[in-house]
Amino acid sequence: MIQVCICTDLVEKLLSERTNLTRTTLTRVHQFFISVLVMVPADTVKQRLQLGYYQGLSDAVRTMIRVEGVYGLYRSLPVTLCTNLPYGAVMVTTNEYLREYLMQANNQRLDVKTTLLAGCGAGMVAAAVTTPLDRLKTRLQTQGLSMVINCDKVAGGDPCPNLATTPKYNGLKDAFQSIVREEGMVGLFRGLFPRLMTHTPSVAISWTVYEAMKLWLQ
């Protein structure tokens, strides 16, 4: 999240001579596009490790590359872009709006309380809005693993022959239709509460630390 804050300031400076609308829009898009390209493989490995199918980080990476190729690390790239770009736009825009609103009520002073409250609101709104997309991303990242639950060599040995070699879903649309068919529309929002509990404090802490460091370095 800190890299998002840094990217925001850098891109805004580069676009300082453009109109406010253009600068704001391009800032939101660029900062998350760069971040997503770096973080998608890490997020995919994290999702797999949380399900307990590998002995550790190195085992997960080696197995995924051996069985699925490098493409396996980026399988969820399209849906991750579709998730993180709107997440970033909503999060940063909401944070700026709430910060300006709270500053007006606080005599134009940007203090820790203002930054924390604005960050909490921004994280909550952005997480809630993008929950369906995050659910689709998780389905795509972990597809194929359900086929090896009963395999004795899931962790520490050779992977089962069918592990992630035949993806369950043909793409984003197929995953969406599968969730709606199996769980209904409410299934797209499964995990909403834990997501809110994670992103709300995370965004608040990130923005607060970043603003505090900026002031300390000035």
Q: What is the pLDDT of residue 25?
A: 53
pLDDT score of 161: 45
The pLDDT score that the predictor gives to residue 22 is 56
Which residues are CB-contacts of 85 (< 8 A; sequence separation ≥ 6)? 28, 29, 32, 33, 36
Count of C-beta atoms within a 10 Å radius of residue 136: 25
What domains sit in the chain, N to C, each tagged with a CATH number?
Answer: 41-217 (1.50.40.10)
**pLDDT reported for residue 142:** 77
Ranges of the chain whose pLDDT falls below 70: 1-36, 144-167
Residue 120's pLDDT is 95
Q: Are 71 and 172 contacting, i.e. CB atoms less than 8 angstroms apart?
A: no
> In which region does residue 69 sit, left (phi positive, over 0), alpha (psi from -120 to 50) or beta (all else)?
left
- What pLDDT was estimated at residue 194? 92
The pLDDT of residue 24 is 54
Contact assessment for residue 122 and residue 98, using Cβ atoms and an 8 Å cutoff: yes
> For the chain, how are helix, strand and coil distributed in percent, rounded to 5?
75, 0, 25
